[in-house]
Structure 1
Amino acid sequence: MIRPRWHGLSRSTRWSSWRRWDQAIALLAATNLAWVIFDVSYIPLRNFWLQRNLYPLPTLPLVVPLPWLPDITPVYDRIKGIEPHRDTQRYLEQFQVLDQALSSPAQSPATVNPLLERQRQLTLGMLEANPFLSSGNTGALEKIKNRLRAHAGLESARQSASLLFDPDHIKGVEWSQERAFWRTQILPLVETNYWRSLDDSGQLTDLSWRIDTPFQLLFLFDILLRTLRLKRRYPAIRWRDALLRRWIDLPLLIPFWRLLRIVPVTERCSVSGLIQLEPLRAVISRGVVALLALELFEVITIRVVDALQQIIRSPQLPQRIRGFCTYQTTDQNDQRELLELLRLWVPLLLTRVGPSLRPQLVALLSHVLQQGMTSRIRPDTLQRLPGLLKAESELSRQLASGVIDSMLDLSRTTGSRLGQHDQALDQLGTDALDRFWEELARVLDDGPVLEQSQTLLASFLEDIKRSSFRQLRDQGGVDDLINELDGLNFSPSTGPAKPPL
């Protein structure tokens, strides 16, 4: 059974302080990454942290309150340079004064009416000036308008605000119901508005670097420490190369694109053993490698076949063949290697392989001789004699044995002589090879064999190319290859993997 690489890995019994240090840094890096995600998403999610209400379905009025979450906006707003907007803050404070006056039965109309008029003017001013532009929360103002229209039953938000703060309207309704509407529908939207200050460079104030800088200094110290450890382990490596080995930690040091820190954090957690990513990496790499393997094989096949076709179609093919001769090239290594290969294989075939085939060769030649005698030597009148067939079989066997033994003795003698290092034999072999290449090139030049051979061989290679691609398509794609790899990795049997269910 072929086991995946992450199975059965032997853990080191040595739990050194370096491993504990790496795990501690990995945990701090994970903490820093969690804070970075929170810091980046704080402005878009400030309404959630302010009200601590979850809206799972934005299209429906479904609210899930989360009162157990702490209110972090008073602290983190200062880091982001967020301050209460003056207009909306004045609106909230004025509403508190109006609420206290209307909730107290001792207040006279002379005291309440100016407060109602003041609140009406602030509401109309908010609808006209749109103070939510500074926070990019214009949608809150549109929600306020829609809710005022729905509550008052009018088509104009301004007329609705004037009606709701009219003294006659207040006298005709219960203030407790009106207060519930304002506190649950309007004031939470007003509270979401804020004003963000600018720093000396004209950018929005962001003091999160004060929190991130200690982490960055710690990461820089760890990178230098890892470089020193690598230098001690491999003294021949240069400091620059040792430092570049930790290029993956670069996002931990840069103050922008901080979400890229997920890459070095994941790498550190995996190397330190806090998480196991080898199965996921193996699955991803298997798919990528399988896809690249199929594409690469197709490209290589096309290039190789096209190159062979160009060589075959080339009119200089006879000259290329003559180039194999020793007197046509200055590099004698190729010719010498070919002679050494022939000296190695020819004696092997003549002295060891050939004699091992003696019974088969005798039986083959005996059968051929007997068939020849049956068809040409024996008359038809003697075919019915019972002993003649046996005599012919024995004669053909003896003749075949004699011929084969003579040929094998000759092959042994020839092979033994060819296996010996002889300068004259080497020269004769070189002359024979040169003559072979020369005659082959001459024959191709003289007759129509060259053009016909080129056409046939090019067509043959084209058929091979098309059939190979057709076979690849018939065998399936990347999914089938991955399933076959899974069968090799996880099948307990030694036989072929079962097809997937």
Structure 2
Amino acid sequence: MIRPRWQGLKPQQNAGAWRRWDRMVAIIATLNLAWVLVDLSYIPLRNFWLQRNLYPVSSLPLVVPLPWLPDITPVLDPLKGIEPHRETQAYLDGFKRLDQALQTDSSLGLTSITLLKQQQKLTENLISSQRLLSSSNAAALDQLKNRLRARTGLNSAQQSADLLLSQGHINQNGWNRERQFWNQQILPLVEINYWRSIDENGRPTDLSWRVDAPFQLLFLLDIALRCLRLKSRYPAIRWRDAVLRRWIDLPLLLPFARWMRLVPVTERLSRAGLIQLEPLRAVISRGVVALLAVELFEVITIRVVDTFQQLIRSPQLPERVRGLCSHQTSDANEDQELLELLRLWLPLLLTKVGPALRPQLVALIGHLLQQSLSRSVMPEPLRRVAALQSAEAEFSRQLATGMVDSVLDVSRGAGNRIGQRDQVLETLGTDALDRLWEELAVILEQGPVLERSQDLLTSFLEDLKRSGFRQFRDQDDVDALIRELDGLNFSPADQTPKPPV
């Protein structure tokens, strides 16, 4: 393993205490994330939190009450600058007085009749002045009118309200039945109306920072402690690098885009061991890495092929070939690299590899010689005589052995001489290579060889690029690669994974 550039690595102390601290901060960060999600969604979902009723199908009057949920509107409304709307609150208070009077006075006395007329006037003002539009609840106003019309069958919402609050209608249908309609169908639409104050900048009031500020101070303290722990463990690391290593915690300190806190909170929970994300990470990384590997291989290979094509099309190709000569290079060490490589490998091939192949070479050359002799020297009738065939095979083997031994003796001697430092040999080898590059450059400069070779080579590379990269775009290849990775990761050690189907 490569050691870090800071060499003074100190063992981590109080690991148990720090682990408990990390878990506590991770839990607090999770609570803060829950608060952020509630805060960001409170205004759009205020009607739900106010009434705690769920409407699965908006087109049907189907209501699922959720009374077990806490009523958080008294706590969050002041933070958002929300106050009850005066007109709608007066309407609700008037209906409450009317309800109490009708429940105690079933004979509709003078007080009840007066309250009915007042409620008719309040309903008329509510519908005509469109008070529900003040909190962007235009749909609630239309829904209120539609329910009044559907209740009476009249075309006018105002006439429907006057009929439902008339003395004759109450006496005919009874207040208990009408009271249920108003409480379940009309008043919930009036309750959602509110008034929201404006701050000095002309924006709606939002005091959520008062709740968020203590969390951010705690996160700032935790980040400072993490940097201090990193600095104490790696003394040579700079403070700037220690802070930059905690870049993932930046959303915890930002007052905007607070939904991004999901990333550092998830990272903290995972590092604290409170949640296990490794299986999910492994599944995602396999797919991403497979796709990136294909894309990266395509880019690199296309770049290499394009570079070769540009080099081949270049009119300075003969000069580049001539530049390979030893007297054209600027680096003195570069002149001897090829010769050193030949001096390293030629003795090994001639003295080690070649003699090790002696039995195979003898058998191969002997067989070839026997086939040649039997076809060219031996007449057809004599080829079937067993004694002559045995003599022919023995002669071929002895001849092949002599030839191979002679060649191997020569190769051993040449290999030993090449392996030794010889200034004359180096000079002759350098001259031979220089002559090779010079003659090749001269041939390329003369005649149509250069242009024709450039066309053929570039066409070959273009065909290779087009035909070869079609396979990489096939999704089946990526899926097969992922299946192969799964087989390598999840197969037992003593079981060879099956090839992808």
Contact residue 491 and residue 497 of structure 1 kept, 8 A: no
Letter in 1 for 2:34: A
| 1:432 aligned onto 2:432 | yes
**What is the match of residue 327 of structure 2?**
327
Contact residue 101 and residue 107 of structure 1 kept, 8 A: no
Q: Distance in 2 between matches of 1:29 and 1:296?
A: 38
Q: Which deviates the most, 480-489 or 372-381? A: 372-381
Letter in 1 for 2:422: D
Letter in 1 for 2:319: Q
- Residues 363-391 of structure 1 show CA distances to partners (whole Å, capped at 9, x for unaligned) of 33334444444455556787677644444
What TM-score, normalized by structure 1, do the two folds share? 0.90
Change in 2 beyond 3 A, CA 1:421/1:186 = same
Q: Distance in 1 between matches of 2:24 and 2:380?
A: 103
Change in 2 beyond 3 A, CA 1:136/1:401 = same
Listed as ranges, the matches of 1:114-125 within 5 Å are: 114-125=114-125
Q: Which deviates the most, 474-483 or 79-88? A: 474-483
Please state how far the C-alpha of 1:452 moved relative to its aligned partner.
4.4
Change in 2 beyond 3 A, CA 1:145/1:400 = same
Listed as ranges, the matches of 1:231-310 within 5 Å are: 231-310=231-310
- Residues 385-417 of structure 1 show CA distances to partners (whole Å, capped at 9, x for unaligned) of 764444443333323222221111111011001
**What is the match of residue 204 of structure 1?**
204
Equivalent pairs counted in the alignment come to 489
What TM-score, normalized by structure 2, do the two folds share? 0.90
Letter in 2 for 1:124: E
Q: Which deviates the most, 331-340 or 449-458? A: 449-458
Q: Matched residues, percent identical?
A: 66
- Residues 94-134 of structure 1 show CA distances to partners (whole Å, capped at 9, x for unaligned) of 11222233233387643333322211111000001111222
Contact residue 367 and residue 396 of structure 1 kept, 8 A: yes
**What is the match of residue 497 of structure 1?**
498
- Residues 181-240 of structure 1 show CA distances to partners (whole Å, capped at 9, x for unaligned) of 112211122112111223344332222222111111111111111111112122222222
Please state how far the C-alpha of 1:14 moved relative to its aligned partner.
8.1
**What is the match of residue 347 of structure 1?**
347
- Residues 422-474 of structure 1 show CA distances to partners (whole Å, capped at 9, x for unaligned) of 22222222112212222333334445544444444334333433442244467
Change in 2 beyond 3 A, CA 1:75/1:363 = closer
Listed as ranges, the matches of 1:80-479 within 5 Å are: 80-105=80-105, 109-377=109-377, 387-446=387-446, 448-472=448-472, 476-479=476-479
Letter in 2 for 1:497: K
Q: Distance in 2 between matches of 1:227 and 1:187?
A: 56
Aligned-partner SS, 1:476: helix
Contact residue 102 and residue 108 of structure 2 kept, 8 A: no
Q: Distance in 1 between matches of 2:337 and 2:126?
A: 95
Q: Distance in 1 between matches of 2:69 and 2:137?
A: 23
**What is the match of residue 45 of structure 1?**
45
Please state how far the C-alpha of 1:304 moved relative to its aligned partner.
1.7
Aligned-partner SS, 1:195: strand
Aligned-partner SS, 2:169: helix
Change in 2 beyond 3 A, CA 1:385/1:18 = closer
Listed as ranges, the matches of 1:73-84 within 5 Å are: 73-84=73-84
**What is the match of residue 4 of structure 1?**
none
Contact residue 26 and residue 265 of structure 2 kept, 8 A: yes
Change in 2 beyond 3 A, CA 1:141/1:474 = closer
Please state how far the C-alpha of 1:325 moved relative to its aligned partner.
0.9
Q: Which runs of 5+ in 1 are unaligned?
A: 1-11
Aligned-partner SS, 2:336: helix
Q: Which deviates the most, 266-275 or 380-389? A: 380-389
Please state how far the C-alpha of 1:160 moved relative to its aligned partner.
1.0
Q: Which deviates the most, 54-63 or 138-147? A: 54-63
Contact residue 81 and residue 205 of structure 2 kept, 8 A: yes
Contact residue 488 and residue 497 of structure 1 kept, 8 A: no
Q: Distance in 2 between matches of 1:243 and 1:338?
A: 50
Q: Distance in 1 between matches of 2:386 and 2:78?
A: 121
Please state how far the C-alpha of 1:21 moved relative to its aligned partner.
0.5
**What is the match of residue 16 of structure 2?**
16
Aligned-partner SS, 1:134: helix
**What is the match of residue 26 of structure 1?**
26
Q: Distance in 2 between matches of 1:27 and 1:307?
A: 55
**What is the match of residue 9 of structure 2?**
none
Aligned-partner SS, 1:61: coil
Contact residue 137 and residue 193 of structure 2 kept, 8 A: yes
| Root-mean-square deviation (Å) | 2.6
Q: Distance in 1 between matches of 2:240 and 2:383?
A: 96
Change in 2 beyond 3 A, CA 1:464/1:107 = closer
- Residues 315-347 of structure 1 show CA distances to partners (whole Å, capped at 9, x for unaligned) of 433322221110122223222111110001111
Contact residue 329 and residue 335 of structure 2 kept, 8 A: no
Q: Distance in 1 between matches of 2:211 and 2:382?
A: 116
Change in 2 beyond 3 A, CA 1:329/1:110 = same
**What is the match of residue 3 of structure 2?**
none
**What is the match of residue 486 of structure 2?**
486
Aligned-partner SS, 1:183: helix
